[in-house]
Amino acid sequence: MENETIELTYERATLRRRIAAFLVDAFLSLLTGAIFLLLTFYLLSVSPFMKSIYQQRDDIQLNSHLYLKDDSNHIIQLKESISKDTALTIKEKNKKYDDALTYFFDSNLFFNENEGNEIYRNLKENAKGDDNNNLFNNDGIEIYDDSLHNDYYLSFYEDSYQKALSYMSWNNEYRNLNRQLLLIDTFSVLGTLLFPFLIFSYVIPLFNVRTRQTLGMMATKIALIDVNGLSVKWWKFTLRFLFFYVIELWGSLLSFFIPFIVSLTMAVLSKAHQSLSDYITNTYMVSIDNKSIYKDVFEYKLAQKNTTKRSFIQNDIYTPEDKKKDWKSFLDVEAGYQIRLMV
């Protein structure tokens, strides 16, 4: 007994509609992500756990004397405080730097016994002016007291301050606290931006069983169908999403947008106008202004009892000879129907 065939006609989605749908989804994802990000950072700021981490880090910074609190009670670097204080003379700036550096390099919080003092003493021994003369004596005291050398001393102290910050960053407790904060901030940003993307690009179309539409696709009236003209199965849609997310999205960010350019070129120039992810998964974007997409043959037969043929036709013009040449056949054994598809 010959299998019955069914025919449906779909018009391919134009590139303009596909871009418009993408922009709508991108805007909604970014807007929702920004709201989630602000909410996440607010919740973190009032979290006792985060407050404890910040307090521990603040205590270490203040105990180093390389940081201090400004008039607004915010912790800032000593260098920033000195540069903002226009009333200070160069000699006074040098004194503030030297006092803070002496305390820091003498602190057991950051160095073992005399290790810090030895480092600071070596820095002073190697400090020289433009005339290649030493700036400090053997006791680490400034040799010169004139305006020209004061600039040399200020340059020395500023360089030594940067070295001190580097030594401070290697403190185990301080480094662990900063690592925790970095990880929390990184996962907060990635999580709050990824979550809306998953919602708008995967979860919503996953529940749109027939059309696999995002909100942008709903607005532009386009849908995704399988190679057999029916709705895309959930597992195939998941594979398509993963390919798009890993290869086209992240791959583009890591390789100068090469996968994105390839995908766009395929969507514009290929005969079936498929993007890279559509080509790999054998799916198609179609216009559904006045059309329906069906989950399976039985659903179609229920809605169209008098229909006897089904085909998948793009909005390109085909001659009868082209149709004869381009037909591909699929046999739905379970339904007992022959599926003929033109791509």
Which residue type occupies 107?
S
pLDDT score, position 126 = 92
* Residue burial 291-325, b: 16+ Cβ < 10 Å; e: rest: eebbeebeebbeeeeeeeebbbbbeeeeeeeeeee
pLDDT score, position 267 = 87
Phi and psi, residue 286, nearest 5°: -130, 155
Give the length of the chain: 343
Distance CA 319, CA 159 (A): 78
Task: Give the number of other Cβ atoms within 10 Å of residue 178's Cβ.
Answer: 15
Coil vs helix vs strand at 87: coil
pTM: 0.69
Pairing of strands 337-342, 4-5: parallel
Phi-psi region of 129 (alpha: psi -120 to 50; beta: other; left: phi over 0): beta
The residue whose two tokens read 């599926």 is 339
Residues 129, 152 contacting (CB under 8 angstroms): yes
- Residue 214 tokens read as 């995002």
- Residue 131 tokens read as 């005339």
Residues 243, 232 contacting (CB under 8 angstroms): no
> In this structure, what DSSP letter does residue 200 have?
I
Task: Give the number of other Cβ atoms within 10 Å of residue 70's Cβ.
Answer: 11
Pairing of strands 67-69, 75-77: antiparallel
pLDDT score, position 336 = 43
- Residue 71 tokens read as 């008039």
pLDDT score, position 252 = 87
Pairing of strands 4-5, 11-12: unpaired
pLDDT per residue as tens digits for the range 101-151: 999 999 999 998 889 999 999 999 999 888 788 999 988 999 998 877 888
| 68 sits in which H/E element | strand 67-69
- Residue 44 tokens read as 């973190």
Distance CA 92, CA 339 (A): 88
Phi and psi, residue 341, nearest 5°: -130, 135
Helix axis angle, 172-198 to 48-64, nearest 10°? 140
In sequence order, which ranges of the chain are alpha helices (DSSP H)? 15-45, 48-64, 78-84, 90-105, 115-125, 147-169, 172-198, 204-207, 215-220, 234-243, 251-254, 258-269, 276-281, 297-303, 320-326
Greatest Cα pair distance in the chain:
110
pLDDT score, position 193 = 83
- Residue 309 tokens read as 């043929």
The alpha carbon dihedral of 206, 208, 210, 211 has a sign of negative
Mean pLDDT of successive 10-residue stretches along the chain, which has 343 residues: 63 90 94 93 92 95 94 93 92 95 94 91 90 88 86 94 95 95 92 91 94 96 90 95 91 89 89 89 89 82 58 38 42 43 44
pLDDT score, position 305 = 66
CA 331 from chain centre, in angstroms, equals 43
